[in-house]
Amino acid sequence: YRVRYKDSPRTPKDLDLTKETDEQLIERLGANNDFIRWTATRLLQERAAKEVRPGKDEVVRPKLRAVFSKDNQDASTNQLRHAFFAMIGSYSSESSNFDVIRDLGVTDLHPKFDKCMSAWWVRYMHGNRAFAESFAPYRNKQNLAGTTSTDPSTVMLQQIIGLSKLPITATAKIDGFLWHLSQSKDDKLIPHIVWQNLHPNLEQHPDEFLRALQDGQYLKSKPVADLMPRVVDRILGRQKFDAAPVAKLFALLRDDHPQVGREVLAVLAAKVQSGELKGDKLEQLKAAMSEPLTPLLNSGVSHPLGSDAALLAVSWGDQRGLSHVRQSFTTRGLQPDLRLKALNALIAARDESLLETITKVLDDLTQNRKDAEGPQPLRPSGPLREKSAFASQLLAALGKLDEPKVADLVLARYQKLEPELQPAAIELLTQRANWSKSLLSQVGEKKIAAAAINVNQARRIQALKDKDLSELLNRHWGQVRDSRSPDRERVVAEMKSLIRSQTGDPFAGEKVFKRVCAACHKIYGEGPDIGPDITSNGRNDFNQLLSNVFDPSLVIGAGYRVCTVVNKAGRVQSGLLVEDSPQRVVLKPAAIAAKPANTTDAPVAVAVGQLQIIPRDDIEEFKLNELSLMPEGLEKQLSPQEIVDLFAFLVLDKHPKDKSAKRLPGVD
């Protein structure tokens, strides 16, 4: 198909570019019409390619070559580009690079030969076998095919990609990648391209990488230094595990680059705490890191990395630094993220006094909130919100403790917890069979409402396959469905009729959205990243919108499937599937409060935990749920007028404040 834009000139019906002369086609290379320009390029390329045969005189190439002459001041940028494309396209990958250099006159370039053509030139030359073989021996930091630190990023990107194609040693490639990265300054794309080409070399050549890193002094470059945590993660993931390169890299970072060293220690601590590194691998890591860590552990907090070293050491059971880590967790006023890191280290270490310490910290956090003067906001802000967030993270971290007393600790304080913390407590208690039994017993005694347990948490309890627990669940909560409710189509039809029969207020609907939907969904740049951003998703037409709201499990996007994982220790976790690899499964937990929202402005509470990393060899059962994280039954939570108002807001393609906003197709 040929598309004509508005009133642009029509292409003549009798136009046949195949009948035009070389000169006419060369003129067409500068045409404004894209179809004509590219067709002329292809025809000239085909004609020039035929001249490669023995005994054929060159006719087209000299004409194309003339376009690049400095005397050709009339050549447009488009004409130069397409003459260039026609010229390089006429050569095979076996052609002599010297012929191409001669034909394109790259030693004496036309003033209009821009960065786009320079990038294509580099791309072609590195893809040319003759060039690659002849240039490879000279490829080093001083001779990178004309590379300079001032080259445009488009050119440098092609140089990086081309480097991976050259028949040179892995050491030379690694050195070249690091050099390019060191010259990338603030470019956002180049680090990603370098990484994709660099990391395969780390599988077999970590020592060569370290040698190049040290010899080239590349760590002085911020883009290179920022890559080191990913390098550590990749080296630890090699098929043949070896912790020595990690220890050597940390030794390079420890004193001269403490900030990057801190990030590397955090990567190691996270892998130890998640169980990704255990057994022989953990013992290898401990032995390799002993030398660079010992001075830090001996010096305590006097070294910038002293606290971070203590966190790692305590995580794998080293008593040095234990008192410091305990103090970090219990210290009021310390940054919450530092306290949480200390807690995770103590959990990994199975610290004997941990439950007692956690009890005091949790009581302190909740008591401070209770002691605050004046009426409390529905959602805390400032310091109160920070403490509430830390308390929620503390509860989430307790899931790693295989300790029956955790349930007693939490249930004894459940009624004292603020409303925004209670979903996190339920999320925790539904992760292990003995905790769930204690929870359901209190539900049976009417101490906790059955509605506090949402359907996803009920499914998680059922996934434990404990007969006694399942009976408790059925008795005190109800039957768990594993499939979509069959009455959803009827509900969708009823809601469609309701919304079409009444007029809604989009501004009132925005308030309903913020109360009920904004806990998970983003719209017009506001909201969390849990469910889809519905600014541009799920609102193509009215029928699709109705289905997504009232029948959420009919179609579930691949990135929003809920996954349930039961590990070998009997802990069950669920959440959105972030990663599923041979090494591990990563989940993003999200617990939506099951308690129906009332008609006040009280927002739906959602507890979003940190990413949960589960080693693949620890998994007993892995299941993708058939039902959406978004619960069914929104029509039961809202009044008819609220539903109409909500849809008056949702059916607009722009914010209601925008006067150009239009209603979706199919509404009327």
* DSSP track, 533-568: -TTTSS-SSHHHHHHHHH-TTSS--GGG-EEEEEET
**Which segment of 214-228, 478-492, 575-589, 612-626 scores lowest on mean pLDDT?**
478-492
* Higher pLDDT among residues 211 and 589, named by residue: 211
Three-state DSSP at 248 gives: helix
pLDDT band at residue 156 under the 50/70/90 scheme: confident
Is 255:293 a contact under the CB 8 Å cutoff?
no
Mean residue pLDDT across the chain: 85
Q: Average pLDDT, stretch 203-228?
A: 95
Q: How far apart are CA 140 and CA 554, in angstroms?
A: 57
**Tokens at residue 618, please?**
């620890």
Average pLDDT over residues 209-227: 95
Predicted pLDDT of residue 598 = 42
Handedness of CA 404, 338, 588, 537 (dihedral sign): positive
Range in 335-349, 364-378, 426-440 with the lowest mean pLDDT? 364-378
Long-range own/partner contacts, residues 350-359 (CB < 8 A, 24 or more apart):
351/322, 351/326, 353/326, 354/401, 355/401, 355/403, 355/405, 355/406, 355/409, 357/326, 357/329, 357/330, 358/394, 358/398, 358/409, 359/409
Predicted confidence at residue 442, as pLDDT, reads 94
Can you give the pLDDT at residue 89? 82
Average pLDDT over every residue of 216-237:
95
pTM of the predicted model, to two decimals? 0.79
Give me the percent of the chain exceeding a pLDDT of 90.
49
Phi and psi based region of residue 527 (left: phi greater than 0; alpha: psi -120 to 50; beta: remaining): left
Parse the chain into domains and list their residue ranges: 488-559+632-650
Q: Please report which confidence band the pLDDT of residue 595 belongs to, taking 50, 70 and 90 as the band edges.
A: very low
- What would the mean pLDDT of 191-204 be, rounded to a whole number? 96
Does residue 175 register a pLDDT over 90?
yes
Is the pLDDT higher at 637 or at 366? 637
For residue 381, CA distances in Å to 361, 425, 495 come to 20, 20, 37
Distance CA 462, CA 475 (A): 13
3-state secondary structure of 203: coil
According to the model, what pLDDT value does residue 101 have?
56
> How far is 23 from 62, CA to CA, in rounded Å?
11
> What pLDDT, on the 0 to 100 scale, is given for residue 29?
94
Q: Which residues contact 90 (CB under 8 A, 6 or more apart)?
A: 45, 48, 49, 51, 52, 60, 61
Can you tell me the distance from the alpha carbon of 458 to that of 592, in angstroms, rounded to the nearest whole number?
Answer: 12
- What count of other Cβ atoms lies within 10 Å of the Cβ of residue 487? 10
Rounded CA-CA distance 290/285 in Å is: 8
**CA atoms of 13 and 438, how far apart (whole Å):** 82
Judging by beta carbons within 10 Å of its beta carbon (0-12, 13-18, 19+), is residue 449 exposed, middle or buried?
A: exposed
Tell me how crowded residue 127 is: count the other CB atoms within 10 A of its CB: 15
Instruction: Categorize the per-residue pLDDT at 109 as very low, low, confident or very high, splitting at 50, 70 and 90.
Output: low
Reported as a single tens digit per residue, the pLDDT across 256-307 is 999 999 999 999 999 999 999 999 999 999 999 999 999 999 987 788 999 9
Residues 6 or more apart whose Cβ sits within 8 Å of residue 4? 10
- pLDDT tens-digit map of 534-571: 887 777 778 888 888 998 888 887 778 888 999 999 99
Least-confidence region, from 43-57, 150-164, 440-454, 583-597 = 583-597
pLDDT for res 274:
93
Task: Supply 10's token pair.
Answer: 């029509």
Contact between 119 and 154 under an 8 Å Cβ cutoff? The reply is yes
pLDDT of residue 375: 47
Mean pLDDT (whole number) for 300-324: 92
With residue 578 as reference, give the H or E element that holds it.
strand 572-580
Rounded to whole angstroms, the Cα distance separating 160 from 60 reads 33
In this prediction, residue 179 has a pLDDT band, given cuts at 50, 70 and 90, of very high
